[in-house]
Chain A
Amino acid sequence: MKVAINALQAPSGAATGAKGAAMKHTPPLRERWRGRRNLLPALLFLGLFFFAPLISLLLRGVLEPVPGLGNYEQLFANSAYARVLFNTFSVAGLVTLISVLLGFPLAWAITLVPRGWGRWLLNIVLLSMWTSLLARTYSWLVLLQASGVINKALMALGIIDAPLEMVHNLTGVVIGMSYIMIPFIVLPLQATMQAIDPMVLQAGSICGASPWSNFFKVFLPLCRSGLFSGALMVFVMSLGYYVTPALLGGAQNMMLPEFIVQQVQSFLNWGLASAAAALLIAITLVLFYFYLKLQPESPVGNSNAR
């Protein structure tokens, strides 16, 4: 029986040994190709509705209004556009920093507390992640407005005299986006921390490390992979975020995604928009490449070669 089952798996496992060589022609071609053919519908769909439009969009950046690199020149030369790029990167950087600072203790505590509590904390994180993006953004809009709860509370406590302007500017964008990104730090970081053997830290302290140096020299380096991949993911996502900046931000200080939409919808300037889009894609893909380098293995990688 077992032999029979193995024989059925020939396409995957029989490449080794003399027997494997003899069987090389036995797996019916039909069986072998069946796998690949299954990809066709999805590939056709993505090719038609994703890759083709994407490529033709990117081409417009060098073809419209006249062929050449004029759009790119404009993008970098015009100080207003450079400002957009600066905003995009500084907001994404700040958001990454804040969400790491808030996400780290949370991930740590989830790993630390008894299982029941940990599950509750994790559920809170998941709830916030899966709650409608618009609902959360709307909520922050109301919370942060001049007559909102946060301003009123701060004034009642005597911390400020006049309401702070926290929406329709980059402050609002940073607050709203950091909130949205916290789960994307907590989840990978928590998985990394869970995998750390507590004994290693115990060993550190037995060998005389103070809690302080144990944290910085042992614990933090062990968290590094989760921390880096989470932070990188958040940074990449922040660069391309549209909804929250569009609602919590102001017309004065735009980010790249808003800029692209504005060029398309208000100015019908497809050339400039697609140059900006190409820039955003290039940055995203390069950063994502580094992200993949940090991942231990690909989901369809060698691990499933039986």
Chain B
Amino acid sequence: MLLTPNAMSRRLRFGLYTTTGVIALLLLLPIVFIVLLSFGSSQWLVFPPPGWTLKWYEQFFSNAEWMEAALASLKVALLTTVFAVALGLPSAFALVRGRFPGREMLYGLFTLPMIVPLVIIAVAVYALFLKLGYTGTLFAFVVSHVIVALPFTIISIINSLKLFDQSIEDAAVICGASRLQAIVKVTFPAIRPGMIAGALFAFLVSWDEVVLSVMMASPNLQTLPVKMWTTLRQDLTPVIAVASTLLIGLSVLVMMIAAALRRRNPVSA
């Protein structure tokens, strides 16, 4: 009765739906607001904007620092994705198929970077790279991002690998394929949605990573979130709204890809 709308009293239903509507709007508010502001003509972010303009977009795309930051973000995110999948894929296989003691504990170890507060990981890794003299290098960015992206990748690959019936792979082996051939030609295509989801997660985690990046950054190398962070602390220029809008656009794109994957393969991802 509380879960069947028709049996609910009209007053309760009305109250619940109104509350929900308000909360849903609240969830959308900052996102819509920032997109609108990026087209607003007011330097002081007056709302509603006195007029509409693309000049902040022009400023963003013509500014070498913002463009370099965006490029650095892309580079770091792509490298992170590659390494997270390369490290995560064999681990997922071992965790799902292995028959050795301590598997649960190992799984726990792998997910630990998701649980330990980011600040602490950032400070710890910063200390290490400070000692090695690696701060502000591409290496430092990618390594620190892979640490936090890895659990996401491993979990999504594990989820789809668990749904895959290993006897299909074994059948390929019986039919004469080598184990490696069977894995590459039979298992990989079957668990592709999980692999793509894992890669997308890794990309998004890296692309949006602030805390680690701020610690790793140097004036020579900074990602988009770092550039946003440092600019934000000085003033609230609408150019940040442009950067935010582009980030939101990317998230929506990635979400749509993920949704399309889910539709094609409803059991995984």
Return chain B residues, CB-CB under 8 Å to A54.
116, 120-121, 124
Main secondary structure of the interface of B (DSSP, over half): helix
Q: Which residues on the B side are within 8 Å of A260 (C-beta)?
A: 119-120, 123
Question: Of residues A136, A273, A301, which shows the largest number of chain B Cβ atoms within 10 Å of its Cβ?
Answer: A136
A289, B3: Cα distance in complex, Å: 32
Q: Is B188 an interface residue (CB 8 A)?
A: no
| Contact call B87/A45, Cβ cutoff below 8 A | yes
Shortest CB distance A240–B (Å): 3
A138 touches B87 (CB 8 A): no
How many A residues are at the interface, by size bracket? 35 or more
> How many CB-defined contacts (below 8 Å) exist between A and B?
284
B110 to A149, Cβ gap below 8 A? no
User: Contacting A257 at CB < 8 Å: which of B47, B119, B243?
Assistant: B119
Q: Are B170 and A9 in contact (CB under 8 A)?
A: yes
Decide: B117 and A141 in contact? CB cutoff 8 A. Answer: no
| Cβ contact of B4, chosen from A202, A215, A247, cutoff 8 A | A202
If the complex has contacts A106-B23, A127-B31, A261-B119, are A39 and B106 also in contact, measured as CB distance less than 8 A? yes
Report the bound CA distance from A130 to B249 in whole Å: 11
> Which of B154, B166, B248 makes the CB contact (< 8 A) with A135?
B248
CB pair A5 B117 closer than 8 Å: no
A57 and B123 contacting across the interface, CB-CB below 8 Å: yes
Does A35 lie within 8 Å of B123, measured CB to CB? no
- Contacts A46-B110, A136-B31 given; indicate if A142 touches B37 (C-beta within 8 A): yes
Query: Which chain A residues (91-124) contact chain B, with CB distance < 8 Å?
Result: 102, 105-106, 108-109, 111-113, 121, 123-124
How far does the alpha carbon of A49 sit from the alpha carbon of B159 in the complex, in Å? 26
Residue among B1, B90, B228 making CB contact with A134, cutoff 8 Å:
B228
Nearest CB to that of B115 among chain A residues? Answer: A288
**Minimum C-beta distance from A153 to chain B (A):** 10
In the assembled complex, the CB of A198 is this many whole angstroms from the nearest CB of chain B, namely 4
User: A225 near B: Cβ within 8 Å?
Assistant: no
Partner of B91, one of A39, A52, A126, A247: A39
Measured in the bound complex, the distance between the Cα atoms of B227 and A79 in whole Å is 35
Given contacts A5-B167, A42-B87, contact A32 B99 (CB under 8 A): yes
Indicate whether A134 sits within 8 Å of B210 (C-beta atoms), given known contacts A111-B3, A198-B4, A215-B2: yes
Knowing A49-B128, A285-B115, the reply to whether A128 touches B121 (Cβ < 8 A) is: no
- A182-222 near B? 1/0 per residue, CB < 8 Å: 10000000000100101001101100000100110011000
The number of chain B residues with a CB under 8 A from chain A is 101
Whether, in the assembled complex, A300 has its beta carbon less than 8 Å from a beta carbon of chain B, the answer is yes
- Tell me which of B11-19, B56-64, B189-197 binds A: B11-19
Contact B100 A242 (CB under 8 A): no
| A113, B3: Cα distance in complex, Å | 9
The answer to whether B184 has its CB under 8 Å from any CB of chain A is no
Cβ of A140 within 8 Å of any chain B Cβ, yes or no, is yes
Q: Tell yes or no: A133 within 8 A of B by CB.
A: yes
Contacts of A56 in B (CB 8 A): 124, 127-128
A-binding residues in B (CB < 8 A): 1-5, 7-9, 12, 16-17, 19-20, 23-24, 26-31, 33-34, 37, 44-47, 86-88, 90-91, 93-100, 103-104, 106-107, 109-110, 112-113, 115-128, 143-144, 146-147, 150, 154-155, 158-159, 162, 166-167, 170-171, 173-174, 204, 208, 210-211, 215, 225, 228-229, 232-233, 236, 240-241, 243-245, 247-248, 251-252, 254-255
Of the A-B pairs whose beta carbons lie under 8 Å apart in the complex, a sample of 25, sorted by A's number, is A42-B150, A53-B127, A56-B128, A124-B27, A130-B254, A131-B247, A132-B208, A134-B225, A134-B228, A134-B229, A135-B243, A136-B34, A138-B228, A139-B30, A182-B27, A214-B2, A241-B117, A261-B122, A264-B126, A270-B127, A277-B119, A280-B117, A280-B119, A299-B159, A300-B95
Closest 8 CB pairs of A and B: A240-B117, A35-B98, A135-B244, A139-B30, A38-B90, A109-B20, A132-B247, A38-B94
Q: A32-B99, A128-B31, A134-B229 are in contact. List 4 more A-B contacts (CB 8 A).
A: A57-B127, A135-B245, A147-B46, A201-B2
